[in-house]
Structure 1
Amino acid sequence: MSHHTHARPVTPLRTDEELAEGVYQLLGPALRRQVWLLFLDEESYLQPLLMPCDDLPEPMTPANSLTFGRFAGVAVEHSGASSVVLVVERPSGPLLTEADRGLMRGMHDGCLAAGTPVRAVLLSHRRGVRWVARDDYGF
C-alpha cells in the first residue's frame, strides 16, 4: 500500500507553479527515492492514474531511456491523457544532484525518442515539489 494518501487536485494545473503545488498536494513530502508518472489531459486536469516506478536503472542507458519513454507513452494512451508529468521523488533538499540530473535527462530523452509528450519534470523533495527547467538537467 502506498504511503501517499492525499487528495487529487480538482482544478486544472496550467502553470508550472500550479502543477508543482498540485503534485505536492497529491504526494506530500518525499520519503524515498522513486519516480512517479502522473498524467494530464488536454485541459491540464490531473488524471486518476498515478504510477510509481522504483526500479529504474541508474545511470540510464539510451536503451533503458527508450524503453522507459515507450512505457510512458503506452500509459499516456491508456489513461486517455495528453501528456506525462515525470516526478523524481527523493528525501533531501531542493537542489539537484548529478544523479537527479542524469535520471531526469534519461527519462526525458527516452520520452522524446519515443514521441511521448512530456508536460513537465518535477523534483519532489523533503520540503515540497519544484518544477525543473530542461536547462537544469541538460540536453
Structure 2
Amino acid sequence: MTCRTPPDPHRPVPDEAALAARASELLPVAIRRQLWTLFFDADDVQLPMMVPFEGISEWPSPRAVDDWGVALEAVVAEFHVAWLAFVVERPGASTASESDLAWRDALLALGATGGLVVRSVLGCSDDGVTSWSAQGARTSDQSDERARVISRAVARQTRGQSSPRRLALAEVLPLR
C-alpha cells in the first residue's frame, strides 16, 4: 500500500482549473442530490468550512435561492469571505442538463445582488467534478425562455423545497 501526502488545504485556488481540482478532492463522485457552498478568502485560500444543503429540487426555486443568498450573506460578513463557489452534486451523467444549467444561472445570479461574489458553479456527477460556469451561455431571449421553463417546472413540483432560513447555522456547517 502506498501512502500519499494529502493535498495542502492552504494552497490558493486562483482559477477555474484549480477550483475544479479542489472540488474533486473534496467531492470525488456524487452520492445524493445536494448543493455545496465553498468559501474563500481574499488570498484565494479556501476557508475551513463547506455548507451542504441537502434535498435540492430538480429545478431551482427563485425564492429558495434568494433566501439561501440572504443566509450566505450573513456567513460572508461573519467570516470575511471574499468569494464563494457552488458545487451541485447529483448522481447521473456528467453532461449538464437543462435543470443543471438553470441551477447554474440561479446561483451565478446571486452574485449580481452585490452582497456575494460568486466565482463559479461546478457539477459533481458519477464521473466527478466539471465546471458549469462557461457551459451553455445564454442570450437574453434564451434566458427569458429559460425563466419561463423554470417557472412552469416549479409550479409542477409536488414537494416544496425547505427554506434555508429554517436551518440553524450549526446544522449546515458540518463537513462531509
TM value normalised by structure 1: 0.82
> Can you give the 5+ residue segments of structure 1 that lack an aligned partner in the other structure?
1-5
Give me the identity figure in percent: 25
How many pairs were matched up? Answer: 134
Structure number with higher strand proportion: 1
Asked if the contact 2:13–2:19 (Cα under 8 Å) also holds between the matched residues in 1, the reply is yes
- Kindly name which structure, 1 or 2, has the bigger radius of gyration based on alpha carbons: 2
Report the CA distance between 1:136 and its aligned residue. Answer: 2.5
Matches within 5 A, 1:46-125: 46-113=46-113, 115-125=115-125
Report the CA distance between 1:93 and its aligned residue. Answer: 2.1
TM value normalised by structure 2: 0.66
> Can you give the 5+ residue segments of structure 2 that lack an aligned partner in the other structure?
1-5, 144-176
- DSSP-derived class of the 2:44 partner: coil
Output the aligned Cα RMSD: 2.2
Report the CA distance between 1:58 and its aligned residue. Answer: 4.8
What do the CA deviations read for 1:47-75 (whole angstroms, capped 9, x no partner)?
10110001445533433232122122222
What do the CA deviations read for 1:66-105 (whole angstroms, capped 9, x no partner)?
2122122222222322111111011222210112112222
- DSSP-derived class of the 1:101 partner: helix
User: What is aligned with 2:41?
Assistant: 41
